Amino acid sequence: MTSSKPKTIQTMKPATAAKKLGVPLTATPAEFQASVVSRDELNELQSTPPAWLADLRRNGPHTKQVIAAKLKVSIAGLLRGGITGPLTTAEIDALKAENPEWLEREQANQVEARKAALRLKQR
C-alpha cells in the first residue's frame, strides 16, 4: 500500500555536504556555504562536478583525509608530523619530494598497521 503523503526532500548543512564531497567548506563558493544541499543536489555534484569542485579536488586545499591518503599516512600521523590544516596539491607534492623524517616514519607505521590488520583478518 502506498501512502499519499508527498515525499520529503532530504537536505543537509553545507558542512556535511562539503565533507561528503571531500573538500573543506571554507574553500567552497559563498553561495554553497550559505545554502542547504538536497540529496539530489549532492548526487548531481558528485556525478557531474562543476568547475569549482573539480578544481578543488585537483588542486586543493584538501582535507586531512585526502592529505593522509595522498601521503600514505594516518590522520594521527599527520598531526604528529605537524600538519594541522588543509594543504594544496603543490604543498603535498613538495612534502613528498622533501620526504622529511617524520613522513618516512609515519609511512612505515602505516605499512605495519596494515600488515597487522591483514594478519588479524586472516585469523
What is each CA distance from 5 to 2, 8, 20, 85, 89, in whole angstroms?
Answer: 9, 9, 29, 45, 47
User: Tell me, what's the pLDDT at 1?
Assistant: 52
d(CA 95, CA 97): 5
pTM: 0.77
Where do the domains of the chain lie? 9-59, 61-123
Q: What type of residue sits at position 40?
A: D
Q: What is the pLDDT of residues 74-86, one digit of tens each?
A: 999 999 999 999 9
pLDDT at residue 118 in the model: 87
Q: Of 36, 45, 44, give the one whose Cα is nearest residue 10.
A: 36
In the predicted model, is pLDDT for residue 9 greater than 70?
yes
Q: What percent of the chain has pLDDT over 90?
A: 76
User: Where does the pLDDT of residue 120 fall: very low under 50, low under 70, confident under 90, or very high at 90 and above?
Assistant: confident
Q: Which three cell numbers stand for residue 46?
A: 558528485
C-alpha cell belonging to residue 93: 607534492
Cα of first residue to Cα of last residue in the chain, in angstroms, is: 47
pLDDT tens-digit readout, 47-99:
999 999 999 999 989 999 999 999 999 999 999 999 999 999 999 999 999 99
* DSSP-derived secondary structure letter, 72: T
Mean pLDDT of 7-15: 87
Task: Give the per-residue pLDDT at 14.
Answer: 93
